[in-house]
Structure 1
Amino acid sequence: MKPRAEIPHTATGASAPDLERFGLRRFLESLDGDELERHDNPVELADIAALMEGNARAVWISRPSGDSISLAGNVTASRSRLAKAFDTTPDKLLDVVRERLRSKGQLVEVSREEAPVQQVVLTGDECDFTKLPIHLQHDLDGAPYVSASIDFVVDPESGWTNVGVRRLMLRGRRTAGIDLVAPSDLRAIAIAHAKRGERLPIAFAVGTHPIDHVGATMRIPADELELVAALRGAPMGVVKCVTSDLRVPADAEFILEGYLDERGHSDPEGPYGEFLGYYGGIKTNPVFHLTAITHRRNAIFQTCTIGGRSMARTDTAQLAALRTEVTVWRALETAVREVKAVYAGPATGGMFNVRVAMQQRVPGEARNAIAAVFASLANVKHVFVVDPDIDIFSDEQMDWALATRFQADRDLVLQSGLRAMPLDPSLNGATQTAKAGFDLTLPLLKPGTQRSLEHRVPTPPAYAGARFESLEAALEDGPKRFVDLMAATGTRDGREIVRWLEDVATKRPLNRDEEGRYGFA
């Protein structure tokens, strides 16, 4: 077992972290009415899921079920709010995230007295899941779920902190099921502990800044606590847990401390409304035992939106989409040269359909890009590659490119027998999937040539041609398009040119070339 890397124990001087800047409350208070829906009157727990279903705004409930702990949800369920968290715009979000991931994050350990998340410490019988505003999210769920929980464990092989997002199904006051079915680092760590008959210390942060959720979804080999700090772009305060040696964000709203049962995958968990918009069935999963709850004074609990028909307006789809874009871009960087944009549509869960805009340099690069995206993530099923003139964020332009630049017998790339996302309901029990790539690019031009007229996109006339003393002088200069003839005299009408062309043709032969330009014979 490798020793855990030491964290600088200092909270003073230039590297001291701001323990309020990345608080959930501050982020919520920064949202305007277009992004935040507030409920100051009591809201029953049974009504919370319906309030958030398909809601384009974040929801902040001051008194869920009349309790004193407030509840926020749907916080990361829009690209605009994710962009705001990174102090950028939606179209620049991926660029900002990629740039921050190039830096090493700075962790600063703070004392328990300094850590806002340990202002209140509950252990023993005082720590109780059922005293938190945890609600039933979907009709057929097996129980209320903690759905916005970010987990922290230490990998004994590397000494790194592993960070992810896992749900917790309430089983009692201090026990919960945790989903560890899909392949993941945490699953491998948990299985290794169970084989040795050991408990796995684990902690969950609930009520965190959107950046922390983005970091928790990333799959990049590194100490993922440092990765979260890198995405923040500022020193990150961490504090040692009360009942374990784990380090967790000191500025979270809640930390749920405990361990995974040494029996490993032992108990039924589910059903649950999954991130693909359908239910996941009952699975055998480990049991989490709660040993402490620590939280801020006046803390905000958090819930995430996940399944349902409004996938594009769920936390999980928006977070998965950004994670997919980062992963795909990293794969494309080594496969092709001029990637211009990557977009994963949240309506597909943020992972199944990926769009890529690129400038082809040699024939076949679009297909190379498709192959690279296929291999980058098991979840990606359909890849659409377009030229840079297509706005991949526009469904209208993508539909247009599919309709006018694609021939199925020429431009469809099919690959079968690939690793599957197990939750994909279209598999019908299969363990492997097929993937499709759509090459929506125009034919690659030879150097020094331009697109044929049939491949050029119409735009409003610009009237940018040269001025001449007369239309006759303009045509004497060389062939001209109609727009050039209008520019030649500065007319803002054009009908007089039609009359002139008709009249001059009776005196002097006119012809038109293959591009439709007028000229004297």
Structure 2
Amino acid sequence: MTINTTTRSAAALDLDRFRLRNFVEGLNADELDVREEKVDLADVAAILQNNPKAVWFRNVGPEGQELVGNVVGSRSRLAKAFGVPAGEVALEMRRRLSLKPELVKLSKDEAPVQQVVLTGADADLLKLPVHVQHALDGAPYISATIDYTIDPKNGRYNCGMRRLMLRGPQEAGVDLIAPSDLRVMYMASAERGERLNVAYVVGCHPIDMVSATMKEPVDELELISSLRAAPLPVVKCVTNDIMVPADAEMVIEGYFDERGYVEKEGPYGEYLGYYGVVKTNPVFHVTAITHRKDALFQTATISGNRMDYTDTSNLEALRMEMNVWKILGEVVRQPVAVYAPVAAGGSMSMRFSIRQTYPGEARSALYAVLGAVGVKNVFVVDPDIDIFDDSQMEWAFGTRFQADRDLVIATGVRLSPLDPSLHGARSGAKAGYDLTWPVQHAQNWELVTPQAPSYPGERYPSLEAALKAGPKHFEELMAAVGSRDGREVVRELDTFRSSGLERDERGRYYLPK
């Protein structure tokens, strides 16, 4: 199988519309921290760590290069990339998955990412502004990378985000331990004694990064086009047959050698906020580096104790939310909202709200999400709770949950091997928290959340007429006579006590007819 491409002139495409530099330039001061002063590479990590903004270094390292980090380290910036409100990004992604992709093949002369072509000794990783990210890392890492490979079995493109640890001018270590399609492809290639060609994009639009985290049964180069909701310009690499986005900032071409898992890689600060151990991994060899004339190099924030400010956690959260929306669509009639808390790495906790239509629906949804998605703590609430608001979630947890009734535990299940609480175990436990009201009790008036009065109801000629018309809350009585005070209503109510003034079980006032 080969990908289908159309041919258009580069002039017919806006090759800067999905350019990283354009996206960064479009961020306002609330989202972007611009550093005009000279910054040493050694200081980049400290500036990025726990920074809620994207940071654009205009003069970094001895070469005075440009570097940007933390671009997708917030839901608001991801929302800007998709052009929707922050709470609707996952839904917009679902919608775009149904769009037909279009790949437009450009020539080398038309492709911005091949304006500069470096091969041989000129293709030097050590000339790029690559910085040390965490104190105990094994070396500087290129972290904002999307790898492109072709599956020899079906010709489909496979994309993912895997870091590169610098080993020399033309060599880097790669983390290829976690189960993935690329791992399967490489192991088969190594068994045959063959190299596996790969191309790394460094510097791309946030939508491309989102696409690289997804696991959809489609060609993953075409997936970028669908998520962009636009034609994707592509160009063939100069040293292999892999097609890459022609509007990227930079591409590092090369291959994983045929020796298999032979070199130490790591340690490295992982996306759950702890270090990953030293591993034995394949070696990546550089064959070419191509880039725009004014390429903007990119780095990704990954670890630390504020995961909500990292690129990886925000990307992972979106991916998990997409999966949960899909599951809920199969088991729930009225799903309302889905959110993976980014502070938990985007993959350890999940919240969702539904509007229940029958008893047990919330519990059924809880079981479905626990079984189908790789998170270990799942919370379901009624639609009156804003799942994006930690305060409301804590309130619901404290007032609607009984552990012996509402806690669901699944044991002996597979969890992320990077979860440090496993302490080396191969399996663990998941928990579901049902914070919904039972359907049979949900309409009880005492379970209604108190709000400031809004004085609803119709006007009456007198308080007596309002009372005789039917039971009313004090708020409704004030509205009935147009009171903007309330104390005069109390005074007049007192005069009706001798006339048989009554109150029902909900505290409403009325006069017997």
Instruction: After TM superposition, give the deviation of residue 8 of structure 1 in Å.
Output: 2.6
Select the residue among 480, 483, 494 that pairs with 1:488. 480
- 1: CA distance, partners of 2:371 / 2:290: 41
1:269 partnered with 2:260:
no
- 2: CA distance, partners of 1:12 / 1:77: 32
Aligned residue identity for 2:418: L
| Partner residue in 1 for 2:431 | 436
Select the residue among 20, 40, 44 that pairs with 1:48. 44
- 2: CA distance, partners of 1:239 / 1:68: 29
Select the residue among 110, 115, 127 that pairs with 1:114. 110
| Partner residue in 2 for 1:390 | 385
Query: What root-mean-square deviation, in Å, do the aligned CA atoms of Structure 1 and Structure 2 show?
Result: 1.3
| Partner residue in 2 for 1:406 | 401
1:10 partnered with 2:31:
no
Instruction: After TM superposition, give the deviation of residue 106 of structure 1 in Å.
Output: 1.0
SS in structure 1 at match of 2:6 = coil
Instruction: After TM superposition, give the deviation of residue 12 of structure 1 in Å.
Output: 6.2
Q: Residue by residue, what CA displacement relative to the aligned partner does 1:231-270 show, whole Å, maximum 9, x if unpaired? A: 1111010000000000001011110000001112111110
- 1: CA distance, partners of 2:6 / 2:467: 77
Conserved? CA contact 2:20–2:249, under 8 Å = yes
| Partner residue in 1 for 2:241 | 245
1:517 partnered with 2:508:
yes
- 2: CA distance, partners of 1:461 / 1:198: 73
1:73 partnered with 2:69:
yes
Instruction: After TM superposition, give the deviation of residue 504 of structure 1 in Å.
Output: 2.2
Aligned residue identity for 1:72: V
SS in structure 2 at match of 1:62 = strand
Select the residue among 361, 364, 368 that pairs with 1:368. 364
Instruction: After TM superposition, give the deviation of residue 374 of structure 1 in Å.
Output: 1.7
Aligned residue identity for 1:10: R
SS in structure 2 at match of 1:417 = strand
Aligned residue identity for 1:410: R
Query: Structure 1 runs of 4+ off > 2 angstroms?
Result: 3-13, 375-378
Q: What TM-score results when the alignment is normalised by the length of structure 2?
A: 0.98
| Partner residue in 2 for 1:225 | 221
Conserved? CA contact 2:6–2:102, under 8 Å = no
- 1: CA distance, partners of 2:369 / 2:18: 33
Structure 2: runs of 5 or more not aligned: none
Q: Residue by residue, what CA displacement relative to the aligned partner does 1:299-323 show, whole Å, maximum 9, x if unpaired? A: 1110000000111000001111111
| Partner residue in 1 for 2:120 | 124
Conserved? CA contact 2:359–2:440, under 8 Å = no
Instruction: After TM superposition, give the deviation of residue 63 of structure 1 in Å.
Output: 1.6
**Which sits farther off after the overlay, 260-269 or 249-258?**
260-269
Conserved? CA contact 1:17–1:234, under 8 Å = no
SS in structure 2 at match of 1:63 = strand
Conserved? CA contact 2:259–2:282, under 8 Å = yes
Aligned residue identity for 2:405: R
Select the residue among 285, 296, 316 that pairs with 2:281. 285
Aligned residue identity for 1:417: G
1:167 partnered with 2:167:
no
- 2: CA distance, partners of 1:377 / 1:439: 17
Q: Residue by residue, what CA displacement relative to the aligned partner does 1:279-306 show, whole Å, maximum 9, x if unpaired? A: 0000111110010000000111100000
Aligned residue identity for 2:496: V
- 2: CA distance, partners of 1:252 / 1:69: 17
Aligned residue identity for 1:77: G
Q: Residue by residue, what CA displacement relative to the aligned partner does 1:20-75 show, whole Å, maximum 9, x if unpaired? A: 11111111110111111111221100000000000011111112113143100000
Aligned residue identity for 1:471: L
| Partner residue in 2 for 1:25 | 21
Conserved? CA contact 1:69–1:299, under 8 Å = no
Structure 1: runs of 5 or more not aligned: none
Select the residue among 57, 79, 82 that pairs with 2:53. 57
Aligned residue identity for 2:404: D
% identical aligned pairs: 56
Aligned residue identity for 2:121: D
Aligned residue identity for 2:316: A
Q: What TM-score results when the alignment is normalised by the length of structure 1?
A: 0.96
| Partner residue in 2 for 1:344 | 340
- 2: CA distance, partners of 1:414 / 1:472: 57
| Partner residue in 2 for 1:94 | 90
Aligned residue identity for 1:132: L
| Partner residue in 2 for 1:205 | 201
- 2: CA distance, partners of 1:401 / 1:487: 31
